Amino acid sequence: MSTRYVLIVSHTGREDSLLAGTEVCAQLSAAGIKPVMTLTERDAYVEFSRSQVAPHEAISNIAVLDKEVDGKELEVVMVLGGDGTILKAAEVVREWATPLLGINLGHVGFLAESERDGMSDAVARVVEHDYLVKERLALDVRVIVSGHEEFRTWALNEATIEKSARERMLEVVVEIDERPLSSFGCDGIVMATPTGSTAYSFSAGGPVVWPSVEALLLVPLSAHALFARPLVINPNSKLAVEVMQRSTGSGVLWCDGRRTWDLPPGARVEVRKSDLPVRLARFRQGPFTDRLVRKFSLPVDGWRGPASDANGA
């Protein structure tokens, strides 16, 4: 039987995450699965293990990604942390589209599938291949300056154009499918996916979009304009935002809060649906409504459910 490989990605700056990762490595190793980490994370675990009363033998079984294990061999990524750690993991395995399974050690952890108290069960489900894989729309993002592509990246949650200086307003013009929509001054523009509709876009007043709905979102930030409402757009459309030459300030592009690029006046950011989705591992097929209620602690007191029929069925 060929060796099975599971990548572990965690927040190595937190002791609870390191302890959780050590437990996961031990459980995977006991099941005959090889835990894998990036070199930086593996070294952090080795150092942490040495600081304990007795080094944990599971740490010595960790393989190093790209040195001992090719990314194409990874079966799944177990992510220990909040949404930020999941976004970091998505970046690590982007080219292989390896499924991500999040175990929430943060606060909301909207992208995570399990909580800390369900971690052992989550590992057992991975061992048994007992999970589903769902695809999530991602964004392809380009920065064009003077007609030349200067930067290209991607985003799972959102691509955000923000002003660089607090005291300066950013002057932009928004374009949909190569037609101008509106120009205005603002603090920025969020271009998001349905997955990102519960992240920055949500905080900016954008709508929550069910992940089964393919769409692109555009949400202006503090726009000085009569028409600057959040927009839900066809997923095959191309969105573009230009930092106008008359803008007194420059801008900055942030993708998932992790990848960034400066935008001088005249810079153009183009966003469209990526050909490569992000894949999330899920344990249940429950409705998205239940996830919203659970993650946001929404009040549902008084709900009685659908009325029963006349026969009391």
Provide the pLDDT for residue 308: 59
Residue 294 lies in a domain: no
Span 30-35, average pLDDT: 96
Nearest alpha carbon to residue 199 among 111, 134, 91? 111
Structure token pair of residue 2: 């060929």
- Residue 65: the pLDDT is 97
The one-letter code for the residue type at 311 is: N
CATH code of the domain covering residue 251? 2.60.200.30
Instruction: Check whether residue 91 and residue 67 sit in a common domain.
Output: yes
Above pLDDT 90, what percent of the chain? 80
* Confidence class for position 56, pLDDT limits 50, 70, 90: confident
Rounded mean pLDDT, 125-147: 96
Residues 124, 143 within the same domain = no
Overall average pLDDT of the 113-122 stretch: 92
Q: Based on the fold, state whether residues 13 and 75 are members of the same structural domain.
A: yes
Domain assignment present for residue 13? The answer is: yes
Together in a domain, 161 and 262: yes
Both 155 and 36 in a single domain?
Answer: no
pLDDT, one tens digit per residue, over 16-27 is 999 999 999 999
- What domain range includes position 115? 4-136
Among residues 86, 115, 136, which one ends one of the domains?
Answer: 136
236 and 166 in a common domain: yes
Q: Are 9 and 70 within one domain?
A: yes
Do 87 and 201 fall into the same domain? no
Q: Are residue 127 and residue 143 in the same domain, yes or no?
A: no
Task: Considering the candidates 16, 70, 83, 290, report the single residue annotated as catalytic.
Answer: 83
- Domain presence at residue 293: no
The mean per-residue pLDDT over the stretch 53-63 comes to: 82
- Distance of alpha carbon 235 from alpha carbon 311, whole angstroms: 45
Average pLDDT over residues 240-252: 89
Asked if the structure places residue 50 within a domain, the reply is: yes
Question: According to the model, what pLDDT value does residue 44 have?
Answer: 94
Structure tokens at 5: 């490989």
Mean pLDDT of 42-46: 94
In a domain, 253, yes or no: yes
Lowest mean per-residue pLDDT among 32-46, 155-169, 176-190 = 155-169
Which of 90, 115, 136 corresponds to the end of one domain?
A: 136
Which of 76, 102, 136 lies at the terminal end of a domain, its last residue?
Answer: 136
Length of the chain counted residue by residue: 313
305: in domain: no
Mean pLDDT for 49-78 is 90
Task: Locate 281 and state its tokens.
Answer: 């591992």
pLDDT score, position 128 = 96
Identify the pLDDT of residue 18.
93
Q: What is the CATH number of the domain that holds 85?
A: 3.40.50.10330
Both 166 and 254 in a single domain?
A: yes
pLDDT digits (tens, 9 = 90+) for 163-175: 987 778 899 999 9
pTM, rounded to two decimals: 0.91
* 112 and 144 housed in the same domain: no
CB 277, CB 138: distance < 8 Å? yes
Q: Which residue has the higher pLDDT, 53 or 135?
A: 135
125, 108 in Cβ contact below 8 A? no
Q: Indicate the pairing of strand 259-263 with strand 251-255.
A: antiparallel
DSSP state of 138: -
Residue 66 bears catalytic tag: no
Lowest mean pLDDT among 35-39, 52-56, 109-113: 52-56
pLDDT of 54 higher than 70: no
Residue 53 forms part of a structural domain: yes
Question: What are the E-state strand segments in the chain?
Answer: 4-10, 33-37, 63-64, 74-80, 100-104, 114-115, 132-136, 139-145, 148-155, 158-163, 170-176, 179-186, 188-192, 216-221, 231-233, 239-243, 251-255, 259-263, 268-273, 278-282
**How much is the pLDDT for 313?**
44
How many structural domains are present in the chain?
Answer: 2
Residue 252 lies in a domain: yes
How many other C-beta atoms can be found within 10 angstroms of the C-beta atom of residue 67? 10
Note whether 66 and 150 are same-domain residues: no
Name the residue type at position 225: A
Contact call for residues 252 and 162 (beta carbons, < 8 A) = yes
